[in-house]
Structure formats: structure tokens, C-alpha cells
Amino acid sequence: MTNRTSLSNIDVITLDEKGTIHKNVTLVVENGIITEIGNSENDQFGSTAVDCTNKVAMPGLVNSHCHSPMNMVRGWAEDLPFVEWLEAIWVAESGITPDDVYWAAALAAAEMIRSGTVAYNDKYFYMHRVADAVQESGLKAALTWTVFGMGEDTEVGSGLDETIDWIKELDETSKGQIKTYIGPHSPYLCPDDFLRKTVELAHELGKGIHLHVAETKAQVDQSIARYNLSPVQHLDKLGVFDLPDVTIAAHTLHVDDKDIEILVNKNVIVPHCPITYMKLAMPFPSIQKCVDAGVQISLGTDGPGSNADMDMFAVIRQTALIHKYQTVDPAMVSGDTALRMATQAGAKAVGMSDHGMLKVGAPADLILLDMNAPHLRPVHNIVANIVHCVKGSDVCDVMVNGNWLMWNRELKTLDEEQILYEAEKRAHKIVDRGKKQLRQYARD
């Protein structure tokens, strides 16, 4: 039986090659695929169509780099410099259990659906429990279990070999809903031999790698002092950018011309997370050079311990604002560019390269915005209103693969009340356990 949804009297931001915007049309979805975008008056499904007057459809957003279970430490370490913040977060995170990670991931999934994210690229620990939350939520995801290659594996729940077993198992069972990456943390926390081993395994399994690169100027200086190479050049030498699948090089903020050439010529996506950089007061240069050179830049929230939420509409707006401000050029990061970074570019990071455009034949991963609100009127330029005025809470409906994950602001796949209860209770216990463990380490 055909599973059909027909949305009439709707405006559609297609984000196609021409940036087409349809006004007052009918959008039809059949078996998870968009099969028609046409004139509402000719709508052959008129009697069953859902009236979407005052609603706008656009491709669902993709959060291309985050650590979603860090929502458990949201608001825990405020107003601290980067290094002190990291230390404080580590104290709390050392008390986290696999079950906590599950509820944290469920909380994040609820937040993401509510704010219009349909797919995300998550990098954390105990990822088998994140996978459970993804499968229950109906979201699409790419998951990476972070490994360091030094210290105690027990700190992150798994060593490299175990994460490879997890990847093999999940690839067999997730039916394409979840993609996996190999996850060394970064060149500054992983020894070279370990990074080489991850590259070898990536070739063996046909995988990509998701890691952190050149977040601060100090990391670049350290790399040059140690290897006489920048982090990008160092990773290139180790083969991290020559994999069977894409390399996700999160942040990669401090780069020179040679680095940019490498990023353009290899299959690399660079997730950009400006709210985290601003909140942690991490200076970062404009992305103008990278954008002009053709580096594939997507957008992400990073962990909600630093951002501190997962609202991709906030990231879209802040990306446009900060780069206009930094370059003193109001033309920098146009509305259309910001929306494509948050949809099409991010989609490549989660293995959904056919995602990010609303057109016939595309998967029905879309969101509807309720434009009947004072901050969204009048509409001279709908893209401008979406980039600079829409908030995550303006998202009223979310569809993934033709299924509603939220309809009329009601979550259809998750038990939000239970998630909020569990998350609140567990977050306080996690922090208490972390503090206790730290005191124990200090005594030992």
C-alpha cells in the first residue's frame, strides 16, 4: 500500500541549483520520496491534503559535528577559559555510565527534532547506547566512538579494537539509518602509530575518519615545533585524508595556504561550530579564504556543554553574523550560503549526499516552519527571515523518510516526559559521581 502525504497551500524553499522558491503549492510524498511539487489547484489528492497555509517547507537541517550526550553538563562549567573548561567537564564526564549516555542521547534527539535537525554527526563514548536512541527517534545519524590510543580504555568505555567490532555490528543492523566513522580524537591527543593504525583499519573496512583538527593556534604551534608540519600537513602525511570515505576534520580553524590546498584536493569536510568558539572565547580567523578556495564547510553545534544548545537555526544565524563582522563585509556568508552549509554540506558528512534539496525524487527529509508569528512578518525575503529571524521553536513539523517525527509540535517517536525526568535526575548524579571519583584519584 502506498503511504502518501499531501501538503497543500505551502511555500517551499527547495535549495535547488537555482534556489527556487515555490509559493502556495502542494507537496506530495509517497513512500518516503517527494513525488510532486505542483499547483495546489490541480491537486489530485485535494480531499486528503493537509492544509499548510502559513507554513514553509525546507530541507531538514544537518548538525555535522556534535557530542550530543554532553548535554548532561550543560551549564555546569560556565565562564571559564578553554583549558579550565575542559578540566571541569572532564571531572563531570568521568562519572557518566552507558545508561546515562542513552538518556542524554534521547534528550538530544528530542531537542534536535524540536529545532528542525533531521540528521547529525555524533562523536562521543558508549556509542552503542547513542545508536539505540537514534533508532528509536527515527533520526538519521553518523556515529563515531572516540578513542585516544593512550591512557585507560575504561575511561571511554572502549579501545580501538572494540569500537571496530561495534562498527561491524552496527553496519549490519542499522539498515542504512546510521553511518559509522573511525574516531581518533585528534592529532594532539593520539600518537602517530595509533593514527596510522586507524588509517589502515579505515582502508580495511571502507570507512572514513572523524576527528578534531587545529582548534587553536597553540595546537598549530605545537605541531610545527614537533613535526615541522601543521596539523593538516601532518595528518595528510599519515594518510588521514586519503581514505575510502570522507574525512570529517572538525573545526580546522587555523590553516595556511598549503593546508587549504590539501583540504580542497582531498575528500574532507570541515564542520564549523562558531557558537562554541565564541562561548569559550577561542579566537578564530574568518572562513572567507577557505570558502573562496572551495573547502567543503558544513555547520555544527559541537557539544552542548559548550554551545550550550543544539539549535541549528542559531548556528546558521551566528555563522552569517560573525563572518560579516570579522571581515567587515556584509556580503560575507549570504543567507543562501548559510542554509546550504547547514543542509547540503552537512549531508555529505552523514552519508546522505542526495539530501538537502526539496525536489521530485529526493528523500522526504523535511521540516515545516510556522511563519504565523510576529518576529517572522512581514516577508520581503523569505530566506532572510529564515536565516536571521527563525528560531528552533518555530519548527512545527518534522518528517524523515516520509514519517512524521513531530507533527503540530508533538513528538511522535519519543516519550518526552520520561526523557526530561531521566535526564534531569541523571545529570546531577553524573556530576556527583565525577566529583567523588576525582577525590578518589587525588587520594590514590
**List of residues contacting Zn ion (CB under 5 A):** 302
User: From the CB of 258, what's the least distance to Zn ion, in Å?
Assistant: 24
User: From the CB of 18, what's the least distance to Zn ion, in Å?
Assistant: 35
Please state, in angstroms and rounded to a whole number, the distance separating the CA atoms of residues 258 and 235: 13
Nearer residue to Zn ion within complex by CB, 122 or 302: 302
User: From the CB of 252, what's the least distance to Zn ion, in Å?
Assistant: 11
Nearer residue to Zn ion within complex by CB, 259 or 302: 302
Nearer residue to Zn ion within complex by CB, 302 or 365: 302
Nearer residue to Zn ion within complex by CB, 302 or 311: 302
Please state, in angstroms and rounded to a whole number, the distance separating the CA atoms of residues 255 and 226: 17
**Secondary structure E strands in 111-218:** 117-124, 140-147, 178-184, 209-213
Q: Which residue is nearest to Zn ion (CB)?
A: 302
User: From the CB of 303, what's the least distance to Zn ion, in Å?
Assistant: 6
Q: Which of 311, 391, 313, 308 is nearest to 72 (CA)?
A: 308
User: From the CB of 251, what's the least distance to Zn ion, in Å?
Assistant: 7
Given 3-state DSSP classes, what are the helix, strand and coil percentages for the chain, each rounded to the nearest 5? 45, 25, 35
User: From the CB of 302, what's the least distance to Zn ion, in Å?
Assistant: 5
User: From the CB of 410, what's the least distance to Zn ion, in Å?
Assistant: 31
Q: Can you tell me which residue has the cell 571581515?
A: 327
Nearer residue to Zn ion within complex by CB, 56 or 280: 280
Nearer residue to Zn ion within complex by CB, 43 or 302: 302
User: How many Cα neighbours within 13 Å face the side chain of 419?
Assistant: 22
Q: Which three cell numbers stand for residue 317?
A: 544565524
Phi, psi of 437 (to 5 degrees): -60, -40
In DSSP terms, 207 is beta-bridged to none
Residues, the chain, total?
A: 444
Please state, in angstroms and rounded to a whole number, the distance separating the CA atoms of residues 414 and 400: 14
Nearer residue to Zn ion within complex by CB, 121 or 163: 121
User: How many Cα neighbours within 13 Å face the side chain of 313?
Assistant: 24
